[in-house]
C-alpha cells in the first residue's frame, strides 16, 4: 500500500511548513488527488488516521479533492476528458492523447492555528 508512504510525506511537509510559520497546530489539509492517479482516497484517509497521531496535525481535518482526468488529443488538437490512462479520445476515438490532468497528488492548501 503506497498510500502509507505518500501520506507520511504529506504529513511531514505539512508539519514542517506549519512549524516554519510558527504555528502550534494544523487545522485542516486539502489534497488534490487525480482520478487517474494510482492513489485510493479511502486508503489515504485510512493511512492519515494512523500517521497523524502524535503530530501537530493530529486534529486536522483532511479534505480530498478529486481532479478529473484530462488530456490533449494530438489529432483533434484540443483538450478532451480522459476516463482512463492511455484512454481513447472521445471525439476521434484515437489513442494519441497525452494526459494533462488527473494524475496529480498535491497539497492544495492548509490552515494552521
Applying CB under 5 A, the residues found at the interface with Zn ion are 73, 75-76, 89, 91-92
Cβ 70 to Zn ion shortest distance, Å = 13
Name the residue nearer to Zn ion (CB basis): 75 or 83.
Answer: 75
Nearest one of 21, 18, 9 to 105, comparing CA atoms? 9
Beta strands 70-73 and 78-81: pairing type?
Answer: antiparallel
Name the residue nearer to Zn ion (CB basis): 31 or 69.
Answer: 69
Name the residue nearer to Zn ion (CB basis): 23 or 76.
Answer: 76
DSSP alpha helix (H) spans, 21-86: 41-51
Q: Does residue 85 sit in helix, strand or coil?
A: coil
Cβ 101 to Zn ion shortest distance, Å = 16
Cβ 91 to Zn ion shortest distance, Å = 5
- The DSSP annotation for 19-36 comes to HHTT-S-EEEEEEEEETT
Cβ 72 to Zn ion shortest distance, Å = 9
Name the residue nearer to Zn ion (CB basis): 82 or 105.
Answer: 82
Q: Which residue is nearest to Zn ion (CB)?
A: 89
Sign of dihedral through CA atoms 7, 14, 65, 96?
Answer: negative
Amino acid at each position: 500500500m503506497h498510500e502509507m508512504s505518500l501520506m507520511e510525506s504529506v504529513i511531514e511537509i505539512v508539519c514542517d511548513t506549519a512549524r516554519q510559520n510558527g504555528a502550534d497546530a494544523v487545522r485542516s489539509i486539502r489534497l488534490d488527488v487525480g482520478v487517474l492517479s494510482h492513489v485510493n482516497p479511502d486508503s489515504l484517509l485510512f493511512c492519515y488516521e494512523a500517521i497523524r497521531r502524535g503530530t501537530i496535525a493530529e486534529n486536522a481535518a483532511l479534505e480530498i479533492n478529486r481532479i478529473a482526468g484530462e488530456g490533449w488529443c494530438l489529432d483533434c488538437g484540443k483538450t478532451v476528458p480522459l476516463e482512463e490512462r492511455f484512454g481513447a479520445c472521445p471525439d476521434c476515438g484515437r489513442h494519441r492523447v497525452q494526459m494533462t490532468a488527473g494524475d496529480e497528488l498535491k497539497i492544495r492548501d492548509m490552515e494552521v492555528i
